[in-house]
Amino acid sequence: MKNNLTVLTLTLLMAGAASATPVTFLNLNELLSSVNMYTLTNNGGTSNTLSVVNGSVVFNFSVPNALGTGFRNGVFNFTANSTTPATVGSGNYTEQGFSGSGSILDSLTNTIAFSWTFGPTATFTGAVGGTSATFNDSTPPNTEINYISPYLTFPATISESFSFGFTSAIPAYLVGAGGFLDDATGSGVATFSSNPGPSGAPEPATAFLLGSALVGLALIGRKRLAR
């Protein structure tokens, strides 16, 4: 009977996880939308690099955490590279094969609030000659994206994804040397999601107090057993 209950409990937990919906836990915006922070570079017809160096941003975590859920100022660094030329069809381009990483430094605490690695299947898409585009990636496989934050705890996830939306490209996005996109700059916003969503990690002081309390309870238990 006990084994049957254990199996039933595990089944219900797995079913609940499978039915969970993705949670957008992080929003990232440029501090000044008039500044084209994202740079796309054609590396001599051999690859593309999408990057941001010390970009001024505002960001917020949507789940309760030690930083709160309001928007905060930050510094964003990001790079993505692809050696796979774009494909063009019906007036649209798709460039796959991007890998890279990014991080957000919280300006007030001077700590890395969030970082992630991704690849090798992130994709840049848009209309040839257009001034808007998207850059996104998702799991599976579960090695495609890895989220890290001292303020969030990520459980075993069914899926993870992120999406950047770019606008106001200068010049317009065009396919150039080597079949890679030409140099351009753009303004952008981004969202990050996971299923299930993360929870807020305890502050270091809180974690220390909790650990101390657990140690104390363990010692009390041992003393009682010794009697």
Per the prediction, the chain carries an average pLDDT of 86
2 against 28, higher pLDDT: 28
Q: What is the pTM of this model?
A: 0.81
pLDDT for position 34: 82
Residue 111 has pLDDT above 70, yes or no: yes
Q: How far apart are CA 158 and CA 10, in angstroms?
A: 16
Q: Dump pLDDT digits (tens) for 16-51.
A: 444 468 999 999 999 997 889 999 999 999 999 999
pLDDT for position 201: 83
The rounded Cα 155 to chain-centroid distance in angstroms is: 15
Q: How far apart are CA 6 and CA 178, in angstroms?
A: 58
Cβ atoms of 86 and 110 closer than 8 Å: no
The rounded Cα 95 to chain-centroid distance in angstroms is: 20
Q: Dump pLDDT digits (tens) for 142-200.
A: 999 999 999 999 988 899 999 999 999 999 999 999 999 999 999 999 999 999 999 99
Work out the pLDDT band at 15, boundaries 50, 70, 90: very low
Q: Which residue, 121, 37, 118, 126, is CA-closest to 74?
A: 37
